[in-house]
């Protein structure tokens, strides 16, 4: 980091420009760290672009957003940052617009639903870099032992969970509403209930009647009947729920593509189906996108454009997606993935992407709202909790934050 801070805006001599990129680590060990991916990509880029050097610093997802925030606050913004949010930087005028650092063909290749999610006030600043969707994972062995089929609606989901409980399954349905990623499980269930975080006009609607009904059902029909396991949902984190699934202790849970590899490595025979809705398949599922951003501070617009055009080449997008079990963000790479038998495992997730709903990341208030959901939502389904009171409290805080001057 010292080298990064000291060198921001500098050059490598002989007229060369050095670009600084901060990126998140998608690997789960040093063997598949994202650093290896970026090292290979930079090596190929530099071989074709004399005069441009690229230095990449890779941090865990626990640290990367904070690191970039500290760098920007200290006046040493990187040229590019591949992170989880962009709206605050865009609102502060610190970012290039996407059309300023991407050629027209590259920008046009983004999946439209992802490009739209990268906009603030109808202008795109966030460039989608990686995406995923969610499916309901179920343990085929446990389901066969209980004599049940994967659910297509909430009634069947509760009935399946009851049958799994009767067979002694530890977590019939694992409901991770702990602080690690509660905003994800919450959003998946709100969408399943027919609503979401926003209304049809893009305003927060967290305490809608549908959302209150969803969490009341969870509290009364799943948790209240002992169908979510021994750990209170408000204290169950996603990583722990995934680990329990790979140990064969979970009947069902919402999962993203990376769970496939770890479950398969542990010998779990699993299946995946779309998330059930109230009366049938949910109209939409949750999607997640991580973002590439380009900061104006160092003035390397032309060089950043050359690098990003290279990074978003179809081959590079596919290589990254395949390495980390993620979905491509460009139409060309998505078409290539759909046509390739080697990507058959990812196809069910890819099919969900066009109808997926993403976090409201275009709102500068979202980071704070997300943090409050992580902190409070577990209380909505605790034995003495009130879904309506908790959702109302989060809604009031969200509206206040959304209307605060910037």
Of 111, 116, 150, nearest to 132 by C-alpha is: 111
DSSP H helices, 49-181, are 64-73, 87-91, 98-101, 104-109, 112-117, 140-146, 154-166
The predicted pLDDT at position 231 comes to: 97
Residue 360 maps to a domain: no
Residue 324 DSSP label: T
Asked if 139 and 263 sit in the same domain, the reply is: yes
Average pLDDT, the chain: 92
Q: What's the average model confidence in pLDDT over 165-186?
A: 96
Asked if 120 and 8 sit in the same domain, the reply is: yes
The predicted pLDDT at position 348 comes to: 93
CA angle (59 as vertex; 134, 401 as ends), nearest 5: 65
Asked if 273 and 151 sit in the same domain, the reply is: yes
Asked if 252 and 395 sit in the same domain, the reply is: yes
- Please report how many Cα atoms fall inside a 13 Å half-sphere around the Cα of residue 130, on the Cβ side: 22
- Percentage of the chain exceeding pLDDT 90: 85
pLDDT digits (tens, 9 = 90+) for 182-232: 999 999 999 999 999 999 999 999 999 999 999 999 999 999 999 999 999
The predicted pLDDT at position 11 comes to: 38
What distance in Å separates the CA atoms of residue 177 and residue 165, rounded to the nearest whole number?
20
Q: What is the 3-state secondary structure (H, E, C) of 29-46?
A: CHHHCHHHHHHHHHHHHH
The predicted pLDDT at position 56 comes to: 97
Asked if 41 and 122 sit in the same domain, the reply is: yes
Asked if 247 and 224 sit in the same domain, the reply is: yes
Does 355 have pLDDT greater than 90? no
Does 9 have pLDDT greater than 80? no
pLDDT digits (tens, 9 = 90+) for 241-297: 999 999 999 999 999 998 998 999 999 999 999 999 999 888 788 999 999 999 999
- Percentage of the chain exceeding pLDDT 70: 96
Asked if 100 and 233 sit in the same domain, the reply is: no
Report in angstroms the alpha-carbon separations of 359 from 196, 270, 327, 392: 10, 28, 16, 19
Residue 359 maps to a domain: no
The predicted pLDDT at position 14 comes to: 41
Does 75 have pLDDT greater than 50? yes
Q: What's the average model confidence in pLDDT over 150-167?
A: 98
Residue 236 DSSP label: -
- Residue-range definition of the domain harbouring residue 277: 135-284+365-403
- Please report how many Cα atoms fall inside a 13 Å half-sphere around the Cα of residue 208, on the Cβ side: 17
pLDDT digits (tens, 9 = 90+) for 107-139: 999 999 899 999 998 999 999 999 999 999 999
Q: How many domains are contained in the chain?
A: 2
Asked if 248 and 394 sit in the same domain, the reply is: yes
Query: At 20, which helix (H) or strand (E)?
Result: strand 16-24
Check which CATH number belongs to the domain holding 315 and give it: 3.40.190.10
Asked if 128 and 139 sit in the same domain, the reply is: no
pLDDT confidence bin for 6, thresholds 50/70/90:
very low
Asked if 399 and 258 sit in the same domain, the reply is: yes
pLDDT confidence bin for 32, thresholds 50/70/90:
confident
Q: What's the average model confidence in pLDDT over 355-359?
A: 91
What distance in Å separates the CA atoms of residue 150 and residue 172, rounded to the nearest whole number?
12
The predicted pLDDT at position 15 comes to: 54
Q: What's the average model confidence in pLDDT over 7-15?
A: 40
Asked if 96 and 237 sit in the same domain, the reply is: no
pLDDT digits (tens, 9 = 90+) for 365-406: 998 999 999 999 999 999 999 999 999 999 999 999 998 876
300, 19 contact by CB (below 8 A):
yes
The predicted pLDDT at position 5 comes to: 35
Asked if 268 and 321 sit in the same domain, the reply is: no
pLDDT digits (tens, 9 = 90+) for 296-317: 999 999 999 999 999 999 999 9
100-132 in b/e burial notation, b at 16+ Cβ within 10 A?
ebbeeebbebbbebbbebbbbeeebbbbbbbbb
Q: Which residue has the tokens 């290039």?
A: 96
The predicted pLDDT at position 253 comes to: 98
What distance in Å separates the CA atoms of residue 338 and residue 3, rounded to the nearest whole number?
41
3-class DSSP assignment, residue 348: helix
């Amino acid at each position: 980091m010292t080298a990064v801070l000291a060198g921001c805006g500098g050059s490598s001599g002989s007229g060369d420009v050095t670009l600084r990129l901060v990126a998140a680590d998608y690997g789960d060990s040093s063997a598949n760290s994202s650093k290896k991916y970026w090292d290979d990509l930079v090596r190929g880029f530099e071989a074709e672009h004399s005069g441009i050097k690229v230095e990449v610093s890779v941090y865990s997802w626990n640290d990367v957003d904070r690191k970039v925030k500290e760098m920007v606050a200290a006046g040493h913004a990187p040229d590019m940052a591949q992170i989880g949010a962009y709206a605050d930087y865009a609102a502060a005028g610190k970012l290039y617009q996407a059309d300023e650092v991407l050629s027209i063909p590259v920008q046009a290749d983004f999946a439209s639903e992802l490009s739209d999610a990268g906009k603030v006030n109808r202008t795109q600043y966030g460039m989608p870099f990686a995406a995923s969707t969610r499916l309901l994972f179920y343990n085929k062995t446990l389901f066969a032992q209980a004599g049940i089929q994967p659910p297509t609606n909430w009634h069947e989901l509760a009935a399946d969970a009851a049958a799994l409980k009767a067979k002694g399954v530890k977590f019939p349905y694992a409901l991770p509403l702990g602080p690690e990623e509660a905003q994800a499980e919450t959003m998946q269930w709100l969408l399943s209930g027919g609503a979401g975080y926003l209304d049809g006009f893009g305003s927060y609607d967290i305490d809608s009647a549908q959302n209150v009904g969803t969490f009341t059902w969870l509290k009364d029909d799943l948790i209240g009947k002992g169908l979510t396991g021994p750990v209170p949902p408000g204290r169950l984190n996603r990583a722990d729920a995934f680990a329990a699934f790979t140990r064969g202790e979970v009947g069902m849970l919402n999962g993203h593509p990376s769970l496939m590899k770890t479950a398969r490595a542990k010998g779990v025979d699993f299946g995946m189906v779309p998330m059930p809705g109230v009366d049938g398949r949910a109209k939409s599922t949750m999607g997640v996108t991580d973002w590439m951003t380009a900061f104006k501070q160092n003035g390397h617009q032309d060089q950043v454009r050359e690098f990003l055009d290279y990074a978003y080449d179809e081959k590079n997008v596919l290589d990254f997606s395949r390495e980390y079990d993620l979905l491509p963000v460009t139409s060309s790479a998505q078409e290539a993935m759909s046509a390739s038998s080697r990507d058959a495992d990812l196809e069910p997730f890819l099919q969900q992407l066009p109808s997926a709903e993403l976090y409201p990341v275009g709102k500068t208030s979202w980071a704070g709202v997300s943090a409050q959901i992580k902190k409070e939502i577990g209380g909505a389904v605790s034995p003495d909790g009130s879904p309506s009171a908790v959702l109302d409290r989060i809604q009031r805080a969200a509206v206040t934050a959304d209307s605060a001057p910037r």
